[in-house]
Structure 1
Amino acid sequence: MFFKLPHSSVLYQYFLIILCLSLTSCELKNQKVIKRTQFIMGTLVEITIQESDNDLAQHAINKSFNEMSRLEKIMSTYLPNSELSQLNTLARRETKITVSSDLLKVIQRGVHWGKLSNGAIDITIGPAVKLWEFNAETPTLPDADKLQEATSFIDYKNIAIDGSSVSLKKTGMSLHLGAIGKGYAVDQAIGILKKMGVKSGLVNAGGDLMAFGLKKETEAWHIGIQHPRKPEKIIASLDVRDKAVATSGDYQRYFIKDKVRFHHILNPKDGWPENQTMSATVIADTVMDADALSTALFILGPNKGIGLINSLEGVEGMILSKLGSASYSSGFRNLPGLSL
């Protein structure tokens, strides 16, 4: 058996299939590129900004990392005292639990995308995720009967929201925000950088990223999408300015048993990893939406998934099947600076 986590090897693996191209040449007049990394929310987060005032830059980066750490303590299911863990423990038998504004926003958006994707992304997938134990030192396959039972608790329609209160209609349900929470954290980090006066930067949380401002005086940030099996190969590159990019892939967190790859992107319908897709990338206005939609696209596959992306304004996407064939949304080829 072989097990792989995104923090187990060389640096490019931290960034999955999204990486910034030629950052070392990113200099505006009188500005320096300042870059720092920190391990948060189960992945390596890199913040890169351009700023002439080093003290301001360091302070802004510190505040952004602190905000992401704060949100991790709210939304992580791996921290027993997190707000989400407490919600999962207490919000049973329709007990209403008042939640923070951050957690409420993410849950509401998760329900929204659950509806639009017909359950391809479902934040009530917690019972199935728990059985897989991808963070274990030696992961094993879950018991099939237990996994089938777990799927009976998966249904976003059983989340009840009343003002700032949340309840779960079925005992045994639990929420898991892995497909959306990290994106929200990146959005908030970007907001802090902008609020503090940073004009140009990029925040990359394990392949979920947003770039704002210009890398050079007249040039946007340029990012590349790596091949999930051949990290040295770029399958697409494009300019990104004030846009979010997120990728879901079967290589990010997985193990191999009997020559079969078992990864962390579970189909809510049966609790097993979706095995028809290698990676899915979405470009949207917020990282939270791009994060959620890349998961939905991955689960739905080329036909239904691209159909969903095409139905959304301001959203583009591409998907790579397990056979290596790529499919694109209707406007993907018109993205600025695109090279395929």
Structure 2
Amino acid sequence: MGCTFELGLVLNDAVQAEKLLDEGVAEIQRIEGLLSEFKEDSAIGKINANAGIEEIEVNSEVIELLKRAIQISHLAKGYFDITMGPLKQLYRFKNKAFELPKESDIKPMLEMVGFQNLQLNEDQHTAYLRKKGMRISLAAIGKGYAADKVRDKWRSAGIQNGYIDASGDLTAFGQDENCNDWRIGIANPDNRKQSLFYIPLNNAAVATSGDYEQHFVHKGKRYSHTVNPKTGLPVTGIKSVSIFSPSAELSDALATAVYTMGMPKGVTFLNQLPQTHGIFIDDENKVTFTKQLQYEAIPV
């Protein structure tokens, strides 16, 4: 899933806590083995390897996740698309020298992107990418799904307080060891060690998309490492978006979608969704909140 996980429980029984933490780690490893695009024997690896060739039988868990991903793509008007893998091949974001690809290079890659070409047969439990060269990546939804599965497993065991932190994307339920709501800091995009706000988090999840870790300035313009599946170009004009919702999976996917939409389109989109909030920071460090969101500003 391209990230590290930190799991936490508030529990007096150390033996039970260790057992539940081990179960949480095992669940994340199971999902990684099922959904990783980098494992040839995973469900996603097999679908990718057989793009344009044949349908691949997968279990109902994978079908349901792919189905929800497609639903989010429809909801977000294509700004979220799990088939955008080919576009990433155009960029080498880890290199110091950054050049935009030519339009002639982007166009053929765009033709291999499109969630509409992911065919699911729920009765036969099969998935099929209609075009050769297509590729599914669940990087923008997989870690949220894993966090939700761990949370659900713990709740089924009667646990009332805990959290799952997937590289800063936090899912929390109940309260912390001091009987207070969990809190998450929204980082300054220009200084990850500094938080701009604290947000209380209870039975909710937050995910952030942004150019904190990787961005490039090309001819005076700042580009993110996130690529717009509609244009094939890196996102510009916005530094970060944090999405709050009841589900880590939903927050994860919407963070990518809304970050790609940018402002004001992303603000308008979020304001139409129930139980969903967002914090935007644009490239001029202007902060915008959607709806009513309780927060605590941190004095500079």
TM-score (norm: length of structure 2): 0.90
Contact 1:77 1:85 in 2 (8 A): yes
Larger deviation: 111-120 or 188-197? 188-197
- CA deviation vs aligned residue, 1:239-259 (integer Å, no higher than 9, x gap): 111101100011234566777
Residue 56 of structure 1: which of 3, 8, 16 is its match?
16
Task: Give secondary structure in 2 for the equivalent of 1:167.
Answer: strand
Q: Is the 8 A contact 2:183 2:199 kept in 1?
A: yes
- Of residues 307, 314, 318, the one that matches 2:275 is 314
Q: What is the SS of the residue equivalent to 2:4?
A: strand
What residue is the counterpart of 1:99 in the other structure? Answer: 58
Q: Distance in 1 between matches of 2:205 and 2:164?
A: 10
- Show the counterpart of 2:225: 264
Give secondary structure in 1 for the equivalent of 2:148: helix
* Aligned 8 A contact 1:132 1:139 in 2: no
SS at match of 1:233: strand
Higher deviation after alignment, 248-257 or 310-319: 248-257
Contact 2:10 2:177 survives alignment (8 Å): no
| Among 58, 61, 67, the residue aligned to 1:108 | 67
Instruction: Show the 5 A alignment for 1:65-144.
Output: 65-93=25-53, 95-134=54-93, 141=99, 143-144=101-102
Instruction: Give structure 1 stretches of 5+ with no counterpart.
Output: 1-40
Offset, 1:113: 1.0
Aligned-pair CA distance for 1:260 = 6.3
CA drift of 1:82 comes to 2.3
| In structure 1, C-alpha distance between the alignment counterparts of 2:162 and 2:21, rounded to whole Å | 10
Matched with 2:259 is 298
The CA deviation at 1:317 is 0.6
In 2, the alpha carbon distance for the partners of 1:235 and 1:293 equals 21
Identify if the C-alpha distance between structure 1 residues 139 and 74 changes in structure 2 by more than 3 Å, giving closer, same or farther. farther
* 8 Å CA contact retained: 2:192, 2:212: no
Q: For residue 88 of structure 2, what is the amino acid of its counterpart?
A: V
Give the residue type in structure 2 aligned to 1:49: L
Are the counterparts in 2 of residues 199 and 212 from structure 1 also a CA contact under 8 Å? yes
Aligned to 1:181: 142
CA 1:60–1:133 in 2, change beyond 3 Å: closer, same or farther?
A: farther
- Label 1:259 to 1:304 Cα distance change in 2 as closer, same or farther (>3 A): closer
Give the corresponding residue for 1:237. Answer: 198
Matched, 1:162 2:162: no
- Is contact 1:297-1:319 (8 Å) kept? no
Residue 339, structure 1, aligned to residue 300, structure 2: no
Instruction: Single out whichever of 95-104 and 320-329 deviates more from structure 2.
Output: 95-104
Q: Is the 8 A contact 1:57 1:198 kept in 2?
A: no
3-state secondary structure, aligned to 1:131: coil
Query: Which residue of the partner structure matches residue 201 of structure 1?
Result: 162
TM-score, structure 1 as length reference: 0.80
The 5 A counterparts of 1:276-291 are 276-291=237-252
CA distance in 2, matches of 1:133, 1:92: 26
Tell me if the contact between 2:280 and 2:288 (Cα under 8 Å) persists in the aligned partners: yes
Deviation of 1:262 (Å): 4.9
Which residues of structure 2 form unaligned runs of 5+?
Answer: none
Tell me how far apart the structure 1 counterparts of residues 139 and 49 of structure 2 sit (CA, whole Å): 18
* 1:66, distance to aligned residue in structure 2 (A): 1.2
* Other-structure match for 2:285: 324
- Secondary structure of 1:194's match? helix
SS at match of 1:51: coil
Contact 1:75-1:84 within 8 A present in 2 as well: yes
Contact 2:51–2:131 (CA under 8 A) maintained in structure 1: no
For residues 135-154 of structure 1, give each alpha carbon's deviation from its aligned partner in whole angstroms, at most 9, with x where no partner exists: x6778657433333111111
Q: Kindly, what percent of the aligned residue pairs are identical?
A: 28
**Residue identity opposite 1:61 in structure 2:** L
| Partner SS for 1:210 | strand
CA distance in structure 1 between the aligned counterparts of 2:275 and 2:91, rounded to whole angstroms? 35
Bigger shift: 240-249 or 43-52? 43-52
RMSD of the alignment, in Å? 2.2
Judged with a 3 Å threshold, the aligned counterparts in structure 2 of structure 1 residues 78 and 253 are, in CA distance, closer, same or farther, namely farther
Q: Against the structure 1 CA distance between its residues 273 and 143, is the aligned structure 2 distance closer, same or farther, given a 3 Å change threshold?
A: closer
Deviation at 1:108, TM superposition (A): 1.1
CA distance in 1, matches of 2:22, 2:174: 20
